[in-house]
Structure 1
Amino acid sequence: MNTQQLIDTAKELVAGDKGLLAMDESNPTCNKRFAKLGIPQTEETRRAYRELIVTTPGLAESISGAILYDETIRQKKRDGTPFAKALIEASIIPGIKVDTGAKQMAGHPGEKITEGLDGLRDRLKEYSLMGARFAKWRAVIAVGDGLPSRSALEANAHALARYAALCQEAGLVPVVEPEVLMAGEHSLERSVKVTGEALRNVFIQLNCQRVLLEGMILKPNMALPGLTCPAQETVNDAADATVKCLLRTVPAAVPGVAFLSGGQSAELASARLNAMNIRFKSHLPWALAFSFARAIQQPALELWKGEEANVSAAQQSLVHRARCNLAARRGEYTDAMERN
């Protein structure tokens, strides 16, 4: 394990007020999004959409790294250039999603455990040879009556830590993603409690597995009320609750916290990240960044609609959303940016 290389890469991923673009949707998830917009669900349309993203001019001004899916890292531009190489040439670090999905947890109705540890060491070696310098693993934590259970919290934290240790052994920076889901009627207070429990379990297990905290990135959810909760707190209230939760649970050695968007609208995700950086950035031990998927891609996807003639407009939308989040990291995002 090259400790300094891991530290340098982790720092690079959150440097310059940039963030990560999560373009790692599985084929079924990508197909569902295509279907809603009437886009053909084929390998070629998925390839074309990924090419639209990796060839977007100016994307590297706001994006430091892009998380790919197994199919995507094996695909190429029309001219034969592998997507990973195209990203490197654009000064964007390639990453790779390595979990194989969340499955029902035996004996725990309504809860899931993320799989993919079997054979991971060999897959990480292959991805590294293909150009990946970091990886991602997502655990999902449901909130509900009696949920999450202690078993689900501990099992998912253990899997995240084992994944992270294997990544660092292979020279890849692990992006550790324990996602407390927004689905449900739970309050902001309940979200803070569950998020805190999830993060405490994760860092206990990361330390047990001897993971180098300086050589990883945390990708948590923001602390937010459930989507169907009657009380939806203000942007500032959510920002305060999120940062206070992180300060209680995330060690200062971690270089960056790159939030997932988790189903928030593009504008709300930017506004909440902006509020956190305005109110807390000057005295936090770690960078507050972003690792958004839909909150950056969805507007571009809706413009593209699978049509070659719409590529330029879609790319402009992609750059706009990335720049909005760059501004949010600086505490400079405003509603006016959405009207320009």
Structure 2
Amino acid sequence: MKLVPEAVVLLFLKVYSSDAGTATIGATTNLECPLSLIAYYWYKKFIGGTKLLNNGDKYYGALNETLTINNVELADEGFYRCEGFATGGDYSMSHLIELSVTVDGGWSTWNTWEACTTTCGTGQHRRRRHCNNPTPANGGASCQGGDYEYISCKPSLCPVDEGWSSWDSWGACNGTCGTGQQSRRRYCNNPAPANGGAYCQGEDYDNNSCTLFACAVNGGWSSWDSWGHCNVTNGTGQQSRRRNCNNPAPANDGDSCQGEEYDHNSCEEREQQSANISLAVGTVSGALFIVIVIILVVIYAKRRWYNSKKEPDYDITDITRVKSHIYEETHVNHMYQNDLQSAEREVTVTQKNRY
């Protein structure tokens, strides 16, 4: 048997290989020798050399024209050749025959589950497998199914904050006339709070002013006016006063004021005049008395002033002249007393006439 250098083998691999065959893992495949030989020898090319194949569980027909490979494995893939002696006695070697093993993909075992995708509520665990046991090759089918698997997980219950519902319709106005109020309501149930969630912010009731027809206004009396003049000038008469139905005035079919608009009262005009006369007389008398007193004071002051200007021209020893002077002084005093008495009499008469 001849040894084939490595460079020559590589050349065979690239240029002279032919009759490539294809087999699937686990199957049985046949390789046909292209030479007509008396005796056959089958070899498999390996990196660094070749190996003579022998019949056994793996190979059958190693000395025949057809080589059978049982239970094909990925390791059976590669280059084969047959050689031997021809009829003329020459030793012949075939070209390299390539065998490709089609490998369908197979799944690896699953990885461990990843952490849950959420910290509360419902999330997912995920795990993965790979299509590498084996990896698809030479047109083999890929793995069937998904490379990810999911399961649900619930680490804890999430807080649920409350939310308001829509507002209800406005209710009826709470008044019978004029201005009133109407209200509407909403509920904190969209959603309802759970697991420590926050309560709704804001009010559950909303109020709005509403206007109905105008209310009836009943009339009310004003205060009474002052009493008018007596309707007679002497004797007993009547005087009146008035009030008005304007506090408030009736409106919108409201009731008018109940009672009388005018009030009457008897009056005595004479008593009223006597009182006025007495008051007038008293006022005049008082004023007259004051005037008389003022006049007397002025007269007295003038006489005193006049006498003070007259100097006595007698000696203190002249008794006659002294007496005469004393007489004059006495006479003046008598005149003053007379004037004062006259004034008092006039005042007395005036007072009597007043009463």
Given the two structures, how large is their TM-score scaled by the length of structure 2? 0.17
**1 or 2, which has the higher strand percentage?**
2
Given the two structures, how large is their TM-score scaled by the length of structure 1? 0.18
Query: Relative contact order (alpha carbons < 8 A, sep ≥ 6): 1 or 2 greater?
Result: 1
**1 or 2, which has the higher helix percentage?**
1
